[in-house]
Amino acid sequence: MKYSIGLDIGTTSIGWAIIDEDNKRIEKVGVRIFEKPENPKDGKSLSEARRTARSTRRRLKRRRQRLNFIKRFFRDNNLLAKEQIEELLKPGNKLDPYKIREKALNEKIS
């Protein structure tokens, strides 16, 4: 006998069926219902804290990757010395690209 199992996985239930492939009929079916995965006090998702933390980790990782790419680009193309790169990209340094563009309209920048 050849059997197949069918599953329907939802957020608050799992449905299942066992099918006899030889006789082309459903042997057994069932469903398992459970509570919604939320905090009973405020109704917020239990995964919200994990999702927020994961989002923050990803955002910070992507920022770090972008900065490392810029550093590598400057270094590999001999555009700036290591000290200049560190000075340019240090956390307190706030360069406004629009102000730099405006300055470039009126004077030569290097």
pLDDT confidence band for 14 (50 / 70 / 90)? very high
More confident residue, 18 or 47: 18
In angstroms, the CA 47 to CA 8 distance is 22
Report the C-alpha gap between 57 and 59 in whole angstroms: 6
Query: How large is the average pLDDT for residues 74-95?
Result: 83
Residue 5 — very low, low, confident or very high, per pLDDT cuts 50/70/90?
very high
Tell me which of 2-6, 7-11, 83-87 is least confident.
83-87
Identify the sign of the CA torsion 36, 39, 45, 49.
negative
Position 61 scores a pLDDT of: 97
